[in-house]
Structures are given as C-alpha cells and as structure tokens.
Amino acid sequence: MTDLKLKSTTTRFMKPEVKAERVTQSKTVPVTVGNISIGGPDFAVIAGPCSIESKSQFEETATAVRSSGASLLRGGIWKMRTDSQAFQGIGSEAFQFLQEVVENTGLGLVSEVTDPRQIEMLDNFVVMYQVGARNMFNYSLLKELGQTRKPILLKRSFSALIDEWIKAADYITNGGNDKVILCERGIRTFETKTRYTFDVNAVIWAKQNTHFPVVVDPSHAVGIRDMVPAVTYASAAVGADGIIVEVHPRPEEALSDGKQSLTVPEFKKMMKTLERILEATDRPLLKV
C-alpha cells in the first residue's frame, strides 16, 4: 500500500501542469502594448533597426517605418553577440535621444533587455521588453521580468522545444505578469542555406494551444533579405498576430545583421503586399 502511494506521488511530481497551455481559455487573449493591442483581429508590424547606431540612423528609420504602416518601433540598445568582438550596441548613449525620436514618431519602442540590471534603465523608454533567443533560458531574467507590469516579447531560443518555450513563459507569468507575447524566430536545424529554419508548425501550435499572442521575426528566421517578405506573408497566412522585422536605411553599412535587414523601399513594398494578403484572410493591418 505504501509503495502504491509513493509511486502516485512521484508521477504527479514528474508531470507538472503547464500553466501556459490553454486549460480554461478558448482563444488568444490580446495584450495591450502602449496604445495598441496585439492578439486581436488586427495584424501588428513592429519594425526598425536591429541595433540603434546613432540618432540620425534611428530617427531616419523610425520615420520611414512609421510612414509605411508600422505600429511599433524596434531598436536594440544592447546586443548579445556570439562574437565578443562584434558590435554590442551603443548602450546608455541612446538614452540621450530615444525619447525625442519616440515622441516625434508616435510609435512605442520595443527593445531587448539582456541583463536584469537593464530593466529599470529601460523602463522610461520602452512599451515592451524583448527577451532575445539566447536569454529564453535565463530564468533569473525571466523571474525579474515577471515582477514588472509591462508586456514581454519572449523569443524562442533557436535550440528550444516548443514545450520549453511555453514553460519559459510560465517563469514570467508566475511572477504576476501575464502580458506575454510569444515570438517564433527560427530554429537551428541541419540546413545551412538559410540562417535558421522558420518553424511554421510552432506558430500554428502556439495559436491553437496557448492563450498568448504569437508574432514572427522573419529577419532572424531566414537571415536573407530577399526571403524576409515571403516569410512575412506566410506568417500572416497561418494566423500569426504580427511580425517584428528589421529595417535599415543602408543595410550595407549596418553594424549588425545588415544581410537580413530590409531597405526602406523594400519594407514599403512588402507592407503593400502584406495588406492585400491580410484582406484575403479578412484581417486588417493594425494602424496607429
């Protein structure tokens, strides 16, 4: 009798409930980000440079993506790079002009937080914190973000199972912050023709089995500028709630990820085609 009880207890311990999976909710719960909502009927576009390199570069890009229909602005202040000698971002130097650019464009800023100590520093500038792929397993950072009340864009690690991605979201929601948006950004496979492999299955699964909004990063998912629009269209077609895409006025001069960044004319062209695809699926483009 004692052995049976012990076995039952062990089984329950080894199979914890995944809180993020849809248990009582039957559809995506929209998340308010600044003055917009992601996860409703509208398709959101977050666009901007991979890295903020200077005020002029950031301002030029922000103005361009705003005029082409972006609803939020992306821009990395600190960058996590595999190569320790690569550009790591301009850091706190950006604080001198961030507010001015954001106010001039009227777009909320989404920026990556790479260290718990940066959370308070970014708080006055961002409407949503981004957790990069390398930090999806940084549970200390996720716990700290769980104590905040701003939305969190949680990128899937390029080595993570879908289950691990969802459980990473639990680290944030367990802290009391339920404003999580999942981001599929491609996974590492045996394929070498593209930077990563866009896991369209993950987008569909997350939409069907969690209550979180799901967006796609087509820039990192494929790593090739000419392929970014097609991945964007595919994301819209399978029901993603939006994209976060890299745009640079002169990608050949970019200090990070220039090969996957769209030029301003390319972004404008992509947005026009995207609207037509969204119309075919009875979904509007989110506009501010």
For the stretch 107-163, pLDDT in tens is 999 999 999 999 999 999 999 999 999 999 999 999 999 999 999 999 999 999 999
**Most distant CA pair in the chain: distance in Å?**
74
Q: How far apart are CA 57 and CA 52, in angstroms?
A: 7
Ramachandran area for residue 48 (φ above 0: left; ψ -120 to 50: alpha; else beta): left
Q: How far apart are CA 47 and CA 9, in angstroms?
A: 49
Q: What is the pLDDT of residue 20?
A: 52
Q: How far apart are CA 287 and CA 285, in angstroms?
A: 6
pLDDT, average across residues 201-225: 97
Q: What is the pLDDT of residues 37-76, one digit of tens each?
A: 999 999 999 999 999 999 999 999 999 999 999 999 999 9
Q: What is the pLDDT of residue 80?
A: 63
pLDDT at 9 over 60: no
pLDDT at 164 over 60: yes
pLDDT at 283 over 80: yes
Q: What is the pLDDT of residue 288?
A: 87
pTM assigned to the model:
0.89
Q: What is the pLDDT of residue 274?
A: 98
Q: How far apart are CA 68 and CA 283, in angstroms?
A: 18
For residue 84, name the pLDDT band (cuts at 50, 70, 90). confident
Q: What is the pLDDT of residue 92?
A: 85
Q: What is the pLDDT of residue 10?
A: 41
Question: Which residue segments constitute the domains of the chain, with CATH numbers given?
Answer: 27-77+91-280 (3.20.20.70)
Q: Taking a C-beta distance cutoff of 8 angstroms, is the pair 144, 135 a contact?
A: no
Q: What is the pLDDT of residue 25?
A: 54
Residue closest to 160 by CA, chosen among 143, 181, 194, 185:
185
Q: What is the pLDDT of residue 162?
A: 98
Higher-pLDDT residue of 254, 83: 254
Q: How far is CA 241 from CA 19, 67, 98, 175, in A?
A: 21, 21, 27, 25
Q: What is the pLDDT of residue 257?
A: 87
Pairing of strands 180-184, 152-155: parallel
